[in-house]
Amino acid sequence: MIKQEKIVEIRDRASIVEVVSDYVTLKKAGRNYMGLCPFHGEKTPSFTINEEKGIFHCFGCGAGGSVFHFLMQHDQLSFPEAVERVGKRYGIAVERNAAGKPGQQDEREALYRLNERAAANYHRILLNDALGKNALGYIKRRGIDEAMASRFMLGFAPPHGSGLLELIKKEQLSITNALRLGLIGQRETSRFHEKFFARLMFPIINAGGKIIAFGGRVLDQGFPKYLNSPDTPLFHKGSTLYGLYQAKEGIRRSDCVIVVEGYLDVIALHQFGIDYAVATLGTALTVEHVRMLSRYTKNVVALFDGDDAGRKAAARSFEIFVQAGLLGRAAFLPAGEDPDTFVRGQGKAALDQLLDRSIPMADYYFSWLEQRYGRSMEAKSQIAGEISRLLKKVHNPFEVDLLVARAVDSLGIREELLRVELRYSSANPRALPAPGVSAIKARDRDHIADRSLIGLILRFSEIGRYVFEEIKDIDVWQWFGASWSPILELIRADWQEQGSVDVSRIAAKLDSEGAALVAGLAIEAETIAEGEAKQMASDCVAHLRRKYLRGLERNLRIAIRTAEEQQDENAKRERILEWQDIVRKERQLERRKLEPKTTVQ
């Protein structure tokens, strides 16, 4: 764990605008900064940063929190990793405190450590050991120099083992973790063996720079040609892209990413200066892949083989792009070529020309449908059905209109045929992914006063003083719903300890959903004028009290009916007296609102 004092030091030193600007183009908008949200596809900026409070919030998807939460969500880091990343940027050394029982985070760190040591061992063998001589010659014949091998930390697992078991024992690493990571296997009760042998090793690195898995390729005609790590607590094949860590800067610089299929394809493209290429891990492109790439750029070009299988894959991929909120482009290699052989044989200029000829996936998809079904009236009906089915998966209405217009122009299908299914779908909407906590609360009318008062406390110190000091004899907190308790406790503790409420300090103590909610409330309150804040807070307190009293009154009416049914006159009399007292308080509240003692100047 990292000491709280160090977290505070890093948070106070960091500029959230500087950190986020590495990922998002921001523009000043009044007191805040705005840009396109990196966590969901959007055309109009709803991603907002408040530099003064050190928080961000997206009004579109509900993401939000501190600078640490941004890196956790964007680069898939743990909280300690995010703190270390920010600390490193600002020259602050971070030490982990090993005291206490190891938790889930300590376990993840142990897994990362084991992967890093294994990768370093494979890499050493490839470059500096006679056992790696043949493998090193192989990659050089493939046009990969030692600098690029080091950039991707390539390694070699010799036929008779890399000494990994001895390394684990020597460095007192966990044999159980090595089994979990798929680095070793167990034949009998106590006999262990390395899973990777006689293979060129490709460490798979996440966006945060941590090694999460390995891919291994045989150097001869052995089978299987490629062997990947199994899914583990660190690694999920369907949501991981090879080369993303090395390509991040190139993607941001070029505002484009090229998606290919193989490890060596990625490395070959980087070797030729196309340093914005990534690859899937032996799987078809997934929605998670495309959504991850959309955080870096909206310009995604998928490079496919030019054979029938490649063209079918391109058609299938369009649906994946649509579900991820992007339209994408497709480029096709000549038959019999892959990106590695093409760029080595034809050069970078030829590949650049091929990429420049990429076509919108929508156009290719419509053309592919026409080739598949033909041009008869019956075929057009089938094509219309296919397109309508796909359009149901498009969440952005502007993209729906764009795709309908393209389909009409390209295929000559009447717009009404495409719209009829959409109208039916709108009348019977399917369930969409649940939005974040902040978005849920925003739509819940019962929580308007709760949200508003908390936002005002987070925004104005005077409102904190009003709630915590001026009306402290009134237990405002009991009037909130139970779901607010964790946030309210942190706010109250922050005020008692510091005499103020710091949004970033509170967000750092919450999980991602709680941090997003707090950040959203604080930024929403930015629209409230300071001169109106005190009266608005007073109105919120009155509303919460009224809602609380009405709830008590409702419960007492039920209790009175229950006592009548049970013919318990004493209980009935007591409940009626309580009910009358509640009604009296309600009427008093209707006649006068809680007035603030002072006015904010």
| Token code pair at residue 135 | 């493998």
Compute the distance between CA of residue 155 and CA of residue 157 in angstroms, rounded to an integer.
7
Question: Which pLDDT does position 576 carry in this prediction?
Answer: 81
336: domain CATH number is 3.40.1360.10
Same domain, 459 and 562: yes
Burial 172-207 (b: 16+ CB within 10 A, else e): ebeeebbebbbbbeeeeeeebebbbbbbbbbbbbbb
Question: Which pLDDT does position 128 carry in this prediction?
Answer: 96
Within-domain flag for 598: no
Same domain, 267 and 122: no
Domains contained in the chain, number:
5
Same domain, 466 and 572: yes
3-state secondary structure of 68: helix
Same domain, 247 and 329: yes
Same domain, 311 and 386: no
Question: Which pLDDT does position 577 carry in this prediction?
Answer: 82
Question: Which pLDDT does position 390 carry in this prediction?
Answer: 84
Compute the distance between CA of residue 311 and CA of residue 324 in angstroms, rounded to an integer.
20
Same domain, 465 and 527: yes
How do 55-58 and 47-50 pair as beta strands?
Answer: antiparallel
172: domain CATH number is 3.90.980.10
Of 235, 267, 292, the domain-final residue: 235
Length of the chain: 601
Within-domain flag for 257: yes
Burial (0-12, 13-18, 19+ Cβ within 10 Å), 273: exposed
Compute the distance between CA of residue 384 and CA of residue 176 in angstroms, rounded to an integer.
54
Within-domain flag for 432: no
Of 364, 389, 410, the domain-final residue: 364
Same domain, 469 and 420: no
Same domain, 184 and 246: no
Same domain, 215 and 183: yes
24: domain CATH number is 3.90.580.10
Same domain, 419 and 456: no
| Token code pair at residue 202 | 């490709």
Which range marks the domain in which residue 448 is found?
Answer: 438-591
Compute the distance between CA of residue 381 and CA of residue 219 in angstroms, rounded to an integer.
50
Contact 36, 128 (CB under 8 A): no
Of 344, 364, 384, the domain-final residue: 364
CA atoms within 13 A on the CB side of 404: 20
Q: How far apart are the first and last CA of the chain?
A: 44
Within-domain flag for 96: no
| Token code pair at residue 331 | 């480029």
Compute the distance between CA of residue 286 and CA of residue 279 in angstroms, rounded to an integer.
12
H/E stretch holding 452: helix 448-459
Question: Which pLDDT does position 154 carry in this prediction?
Answer: 98
Q: How far is CA 400 from CA 65, 327, 415, in A?
A: 32, 11, 12
Within-domain flag for 98: no
Question: Which pLDDT does position 472 carry in this prediction?
Answer: 65
Q: How far is CA 73 from CA 63, 409, 511, 571, in A?
A: 9, 40, 11, 55
Contact 330, 301 (CB under 8 A): yes
548: domain CATH number is 1.10.860
Same domain, 118 and 219: yes
Same domain, 402 and 470: no
Map tokens 């396109």 to a residue. 36
Question: Which pLDDT does position 431 carry in this prediction?
Answer: 31
pLDDT along the chain (601 residues), means of 10: 84 90 88 87 85 89 90 84 89 69 67 95 96 96 95 96 94 94 85 93 91 94 88 90 92 90 95 96 89 84 91 91 88 93 95 94 90 84 84 73 77 71 46 34 57 85 80 69 79 83 84 85 80 81 77 78 81 79 64 45 40
Within-domain flag for 43: yes
3-state secondary structure of 83: helix
Within-domain flag for 66: yes
Within-domain flag for 565: yes
What letter does residue 202 receive in the DSSP assignment? E
3-state secondary structure of 454: helix
